[in-house]
Structure 1
Amino acid sequence: MDNSVVNEKGKIRSTLKGELYTSPEIFDLEKKNIFAKSWLFVGYEYEAAEPGQYITTKVEGENILIIRGKDRVLRAFLNVCRHRGATLCGDLSGKTGIIRCPYHSWSYGLDGSLLGVPKSSECREELINNENYGLEKVHVQTWHGMIWLNLSENPLPAEQQLDTQIMNRFGELETFARYEIQKLRVAHRKEYDVKANWKIIVENFQECYHCSAIHPELTAALPEFKSGVGTQNSVGAGANFNDDLEAFSITGKGSRPMLKGLLPEDDRLYYGMTIIPHVFINLTPDHVITHRIIPISTDRSIVICDWLFDPEEMAKPNFDPMDAVELFHRVNEQDFEACQWCQENMGSKAYKNGGILVPIEHHVSHFYNYVSESIGMKAK
């Protein structure tokens, strides 16, 4: 295998080589060196806000339980009983005063400590007094109201991975913070099963060269996208709404107020950003859209897309998010179809050495360099 994956010649640059989108070996390296070592977005802090409230998820083949303790500390554990390996909490969310295994009724405190071992008086004290038999801990942090997990043994603080990328996107942290994602709630969620490698989905979102060709609704809302220049081409860039637009929605209609933390200069602007390795965040004046990619195989990814709004607006009897939802849902469907067009030919001899980035796409090469360096391959 040729370890040279990115080349640069004059005003054009190479993409990753085709085998990086089809090779099970490469996919395993990415899972081991990127996803098993990075902070990954799995949910929202409000979903486990009260003591005993929990959510479950699956990350890199591990069942995870995220639960709020009686001390109000958020913790994460492998959702696995230490006795015989049964899944402890089978629901996606819930609330409990104790974590009890459904198989043999071993019980654990909300802090993960082993509390009860039924019908085992001979060894009960030995087990309960040994912290090694408590639930296996997983590193968890919250960032702007979002829950992030890291499966590595000694990860750097989440802020080091996440704030750094916000700085690279905006040149400062204040703009992003004004959207106060921690105060928003999910009003609608869509899940997409995309027959494409996760990297194709990331590189597609990072560039807008394709926007005028496949996104008629998006370019009608954000006319400057017709130029092929998106908001991720330069530090701090946002896209202005079409003058006729009242809101970022499929009809262009809407009267929701701006999110409470925003300033007048944030009105009528859209910001898109990629949080490597697997998250997209879209900021609009009255709602925020998040995407998280879950890589399944070399040619399949699940993308979960959430539309978040101010809960006070959501509580109003006439609240209906679907006009806003429909706009980016169409964008998603258009993007994911295009990603599948590409995935179909990643094994072609025409793409053996990769494709081409023209100057308007050059910023995507930073992502290519990140991937190649993470998996130990050269980037020239």
Structure 2
Amino acid sequence: MTEIAGAMQRSLPSSAYLTAEAWQSDKDTILTREWLCVGRAEDVVEPGDHLVLDVAGENILLVRTKAGELRAHYNVCRHRGARICDSTNDAKWGLELHGGVIGGVIRCPYHGWAYGLDGTLLAAPNLATEADFDKKDFSLYPVGVREWGGFVFLSLTLENAPGFAGVLGEAPRRLGNYPLADLRVAHVIHYEVQANWKLILENYNECYHCGPVHPELCEIVPEFRKDGGIHLDWEQGIPHREGATTYTMTGTTSRNAFPGLSEEEKVRHKGELIYPNLMLSVSSDHAAAFLLWPEAVDRTRVECRFLFHKDEMAKPGFDHADAVDFWDLVNRQDWAVCERVQRGMAARVHDYGYYSPMEDYSLDIRRYVADRQI
């Protein structure tokens, strides 16, 4: 297929969204190497708090240590490879094996090997007197952990992980006035989207589709109907219609704006895409954080977390429904159209899609993938 003349440019080939080979390449070169957002620091607050996470098909244990640090480990005992935390498996057999994170110790239920929350081996029954056995050689396999703005990121291949500052790019500067670390999760919606994770990122990164797909959103931001918003200054934030300050059906809310915002930020909206799996949309009074969990070449679980300032959440009568209901509608519109693309590009005649000039930001996904396949 030849290149279309003019400003149109080819997308990734359709096979990048459809084949088992492409899915394996994504896992090998991106999902197991990059810094993936997996949650918020508030998910594990106290020492011993922990989460068991499925990250790119790997089972990972995220814990808060006694010193208050976050650590992450592969959820596999160094002795014989048993999963240390696996309550679902035990329940399947009607059992509760004595293992997991117990009293500040990570204990394997198989032979009783015990690890500190930092992953160091503390005890291996009947091996303490062996002259050639050194516990320092048998710590849990580590996973990289980083934090920014209250978000937690993991890298499964720490020794080859990219620099974290480079991953964040300009987001800390552009969102510097927003008190992200002081926000708390008030509501979560999980969506099962039958579409490739890259397709969802591309959809987030352009607004050419906003006019046809999001009429309610365009009522709040009329400029989205013009040239897909390509004329807007995304760096400074997106202006709402007159009288609107946030993403709700009315464009208004009774919640106070975040402290520290500029006058422009109080009436504008900002968005960030932190590759490979965090889409962040920030209004003056709340944020919607989208964590993408790729599960197959044609399936992505999207975890949408709605964040509000902790002081607003503490007020009597706090209600998040105006923002949540609006976003849920916009989200479902996005997921529906993404699934249409996933199904349509499987047609035998469709080798490539094309980007128009209005979809300029979508081209990032081509460069992002190509840079990691070298």
**Residue 139 (structure 1) aligned with residue 135 (structure 2):** no
Q: CA deviation at 1:368?
A: 1.4
Change (3 A) 1:281 1:316: same
Equivalences for 1:41-190 in 2 at 5 Å? 41-90=37-86, 96-118=103-125, 120=126, 127=133, 129-152=134-157, 153-162=159-168, 164-166=169-171, 173-190=172-189
In the aligned structure 2, how far is the partner of 1:349 from the partner of 1:115?
Answer: 57
Q: Which residue of 2 aligns with 1:213?
A: 212
Q: Which residue of 2 aligns with 1:170?
A: none
- Answer whether contact 1:53 1:68 (CA < 8 A) is retained: yes
Show CA shifts across 1:310-358 (max 9, x none): 1121122201111101111111100010011111122213312x12211
- Answer whether contact 2:230 2:358 (CA < 8 A) is retained: no
In the aligned structure 2, how far is the partner of 1:45 from the partner of 1:232?
Answer: 37
Q: Which residue of 1 aligns with 2:248?
A: 249
Equivalences for 1:220-369 in 2 at 5 Å? 220-230=219-229, 236-245=235-244, 247-352=246-351, 354-369=352-367
Q: CA deviation at 1:105?
A: 2.9
Q: Which residue of 2 aligns with 1:18?
A: 14
Show CA shifts across 1:45-90 (max 9, x none): 2222332222221112221112222222221111222233232234
Change (3 A) 1:234 1:102: farther
- Answer whether contact 2:114 2:123 (CA < 8 A) is retained: yes
Q: Which residue of 1 aligns with 2:96?
A: none
In the aligned structure 1, how far is the partner of 2:274 from the partner of 2:331?
Answer: 17
- Answer whether contact 2:145 2:153 (CA < 8 A) is retained: yes
- Answer whether contact 1:98 1:107 (CA < 8 A) is retained: yes
In the aligned structure 2, how far is the partner of 1:178 from the partner of 1:136?
Answer: 37
Q: CA deviation at 1:266?
A: 0.9
In the aligned structure 2, how far is the partner of 1:144 from the partner of 1:174?
Answer: 12
Instruction: State the one-letter code of the partner of 2:12.
Output: L
In the aligned structure 2, how far is the partner of 1:87 from the partner of 1:188?
Answer: 31
For structure 2, list consecutive stretches of 5 or more residues without a partner in the other structure: 89-99
Change (3 A) 1:309 1:338: same
Runs of 4+ in 1 over 6 A off after TM superposition: 91-95
The size of the alignment, in residue pairs, is 362
- Answer whether contact 1:210 1:228 (CA < 8 A) is retained: no
SS in 2 for 1:34: helix
Show CA shifts across 1:68-123 (max 9, x none): 222222211112222332322347998842112233332211121112234x2575
Instruction: State the one-letter code of the partner of 1:266.
Output: E
TM-score, structure 1 as length reference: 0.88
In the aligned structure 2, how far is the partner of 1:215 from the partner of 1:271?
Answer: 17
TM-align CA RMSD? 2.5
> 283-292 vs 255-264, which deviates more?
255-264
In the aligned structure 2, how far is the partner of 1:16 from the partner of 1:246?
Answer: 37
For structure 1, list consecutive stretches of 5 or more residues without a partner in the other structure: 167-172
- Answer whether contact 2:37 2:278 (CA < 8 A) is retained: yes
In the aligned structure 2, how far is the partner of 1:180 from the partner of 1:8?
Answer: 45
Q: CA deviation at 1:237?
A: 4.2
> 7-16 vs 297-306, which deviates more?
7-16
SS in 1 for 2:331: helix
TM-score, structure 2 as length reference: 0.89
Identity %: 36
